[in-house]
C-alpha cells in the first residue's frame, strides 16, 4: 500500500490550519497573477505614453529644417507598427532611417532627405515624394502605387520588385538604379533620366516615357507591350528578349536596327507617326510603319548572332 506522506501530513493538521494554508496559497497565486497583469498593463501604458510623445514631437517639428530626436521618434513609431499615414514629413532629414514595412500612405515627404534609408516593404502608396532625395535607398518590394516622385533623385537605389503602378516619375533622376522585376504598369516617366538603370524583367506595360533618357539602360526580358517611348533616347540600351508588341517608339533617338531585332515581337511595334497639332497627340502612320518594318526584315546584317529567347511572350 502506497502512502502519500504529504497528504498524511495535511490530514493530520487541524481543519482550521488546513483552511488557512489553502487560503494562503490562493492569495499568493492571485497576488502573483495580479502583479504580472499590473506589470504588463503598466508597461503598455508607459509604452503608449512614450509613443504619443513621439507622435507629438514629429508633429511639432513640421516646417523646421532640423529638429532633434525626430528620426529616432519616427523609427520607434515604425518599429511599434504605428501608422504614419497622412503625416506631414516635408523636408525632414531621414538619412539612414530604418523604415522597413512602414505605413506612410498619403504621407507628405516632399523634398525629404531619405538618402540611404531602408524602406524595404514600406507602404508609400499615393505619398508625395516630389523633389525628395532617395539616393542609395533600399526600396526592395516597396509599395509606391500612385505616388508622386516627380523631380526625385533616386541614384544607385535598389527598387527590385517594387510596386510603381501609376506612379509619377516625371523629370526624376533614376541613374544607376535597380528596377529589376519592378512593376511600372501605366507609370508616368516623361523627361526622366534612367541612364545605366536596370529594368530586367520589369513590367512597363502601358507606361508613358516621353523624352526620357535610357542611355546604357538594360531592358533584358522586360515587358514593354503598349509602352509609349516617344522621342526617348536609347543610346546603347539593351533590349534583348524584351517584349515590343505594340510599343510606341516614334521619334526614338539612337535606336539601331540591331537593338530592335534583339527584342521579341519587334515587328509588332510602332516606329512611325506624325504629330497632330490639332489633337495634340501622336498619330500612327501605318503605311510608313509597315515600310520601316519591311526594311528591318530585309536588313540581314542587323540580325542577332543567335536566336532570341521569346518563350516568355508566347
Q: Which of 57-71, 119-133, 278-292 has the lowest mean pLDDT?
A: 57-71
Q: Where are the beta strands (DSSP E) in the chain?
A: 273-276, 281-284
Question: Which pLDDT score is estimated for 39?
Answer: 58
Q: Which of 48-52, 120-124, 129-133 has the lowest mean pLDDT?
A: 48-52
Alpha-carbon gap, residue 121 to 76, rounded angstroms: 17
Residue at 39 is within a domain = yes
- Using CA atoms, how far residue 312 sits from 151, 252, 266, 306, in Å, is 34, 25, 14, 17
Residue 26 has pLDDT above 80, yes or no: no
Alpha-carbon gap, residue 169 to 53, rounded angstroms: 35
Residue at 216 is within a domain = no
Residue at 275 is within a domain = no
Torsion of CA 78, 80, 81, 82, to 10 degrees: -70
Residue at 54 is within a domain = yes
Total number of domains constituting the chain: 1
Residue at 42 is within a domain = yes
The parent domain of residue 30 ranges over 7-60
Residue at 41 is within a domain = yes
Cell numbers linked to 7: 497528504
Residue 8 has pLDDT above 50, yes or no: no
103: part of which helix (H) or strand (E)? none
Contacts of 230 (CB under 8 A, 6+ apart): 209, 210, 211, 248, 250, 251, 252, 282
Alpha-carbon gap, residue 104 to 146, rounded angstroms: 13
Residue at 187 is within a domain = no
Residue 123 has pLDDT above 90, yes or no: yes
- Per the CB < 8 A criterion, the answer to whether 259 and 234 are in contact is yes
Residue at 250 is within a domain = no
Residue 29 has pLDDT above 70, yes or no: no
Name the packing angle between helices 70-79 and 15-60 (round to 10°).
130
Write out pLDDT tens, residues 239-286: 999 999 999 999 999 999 999 999 999 999 999 999 888 888 889 999
Amino acid at each position: 500500500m502506497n502512502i502519500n506522506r504529504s497528504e498524511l501530513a495535511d490530514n493530520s493538521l487541524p481543519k482550521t490550519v488546513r483552511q488557512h494554508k489553502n487560503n494562503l496559497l490562493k492569495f499568493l497565486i492571485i497576488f502573483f497573477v495580479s502583479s504580472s497583469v499590473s506589470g504588463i498593463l503598466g508597461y503598455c501604458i508607459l509604452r503608449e505614453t512614450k509613443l504619443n510623445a513621439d507622435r507629438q514631437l514629429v508633429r511639432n517639428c513640421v516646417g523646421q529644417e532640423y529638429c532633434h530626436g525626430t528620426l529616432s521618434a519616427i523609427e520607434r513609431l515604425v518599429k511599434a507598427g504605428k501608422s504614419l499615414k497622412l503625416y506631414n514629413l516635408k523636408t525632414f532629414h531621414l538619412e539612414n532611417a530604418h523604415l522597413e514595412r512602414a505605413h506612410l500612405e498619403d504621407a507628405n515627404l516632399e523634398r525629404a532627405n531619405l538618402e540611404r534609408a531602408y524602406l524595404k516593404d514600406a507602404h508609400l502608396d499615393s505619398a508625395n515624394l516630389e523633389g525628395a532625395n532617395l539616393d542609395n535607398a533600399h526600396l526592395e518590394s516597396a509599395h509606391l502605387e500612385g505616388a508622386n516622385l516627380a523631380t526625385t533623385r533616386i541614384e544607385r537605389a535598389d527598387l527590385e520588385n517594387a510596386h510603381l503602378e501609376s506612379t509619377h516619375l516625371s523629370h526624376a533622376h533614376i541613374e544607376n538604379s535597380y528596377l529589376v522585376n519592378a512593376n511600372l504598369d501605366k507609370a508616368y516617366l516623361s523627361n526622366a533620366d534612367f541612364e545605366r538603370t536596370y529594368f530586367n524583367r520589369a513590367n512597363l506595360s502601358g507606361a508613358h516615357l516621353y523624352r526620357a533618357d535610357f542611355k546604357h539602360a538594360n531592358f533584358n526580358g522586360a515587358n514593354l507591350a503598349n509602352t509609349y517611348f516617344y522621342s526617348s533616347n536609347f543610346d546603347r540600351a539593351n533590349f534583348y528578349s524584351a517584349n515590343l508588341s505594340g510599343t510606341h517608339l516614334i521619334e526614338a533617338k539612337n535606336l539601331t536596327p540591331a537593338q530592335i531585332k534583339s527584342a521579341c515581337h519587334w515587328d509588332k511595334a510602332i516606329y512611325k507617326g506624325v504629330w497632330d497639332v490639332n489633337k495634340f497627340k501622336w498619330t500612327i502612320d501605318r503605311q510608313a510603319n509597315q515600310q520601316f518594318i519591311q526594311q528591318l526584315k530585309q536588313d540581314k546584317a542587323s540580325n542577332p548572332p543567335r536566336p532570341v529567347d521569346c518563350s516568355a511572350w508566347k
